[in-house]
Structure 1
């Protein structure tokens, strides 16, 4: 059985603001608006970021699961994301060889992981 990640749901208190921020955070993402659902998907290659409304069952914020994104330059990605409102949460730390990792907090309290040199 082949299991492959396909999407991440990111819960935010305001979907419109969340979509705008994540479009800035991932400028390579291709937005696809689904009018029948009044919903915008952000496609990064064959992976999808789905910014959804936080509610009483799943709130925004740090709850334990962090998706890590591979980047060519950790420093450049860190600088860019903090320039648009993310805050360094943990790291950077050396993990193997010359690779490092860190976590950033988005403006809605969710975590974004980065791995790279």
Structure 2
């Protein structure tokens, strides 16, 4: 049985550059940092970086990371060097989402969902 999302892993061509970029984007250093894997704790979920894996690019599933302000988070990622993929927009019910392509060709989504709350 599924208990919920635990980890999203992004393949990257340059682990050192990716670690620096995600450290800046997330405003924190990784909690796990090895040559084979770098892991960040993001609100109780893990964002992992792996080297030497095929880069996902713009195909496949997109992980949307919860943020309090989707437009501000999107703009900050662009300022850090990501490229716009899908501008922030309302998909209904006040839920705002958008996606960027990180400097390593992975799609990174942000979502502001007033209807979702983590269990306490």
TM-score after normalising by structure 2: 0.81
Q: 2:94 aligns with which of 71, 95, 98?
A: 98
Decide which structure has greater strand share: 1
Q: Which residue of 1 aligns with 2:66?
A: 70
- Structure 1 gaps of 5+ residues are none
TM-score after normalising by structure 1: 0.82
Could you say what secondary structure the match of 2:4 adopts?
Answer: coil
Number of aligned residue pairs: 113
Could you say what secondary structure the match of 2:65 adopts?
Answer: strand
Shift of 1:74: 1.3
Could you say what secondary structure the match of 2:48 adopts?
Answer: strand
CA contact (8 A) 2:57 2:107 kept: yes
- Structure 2 gaps of 5+ residues are 114-120
CA contact (8 A) 1:9 1:50 kept: yes
Runs of 4+ in 1 over 4 A off after TM superposition: none
Q: Which residue of 2 aligns with 1:22?
A: 22
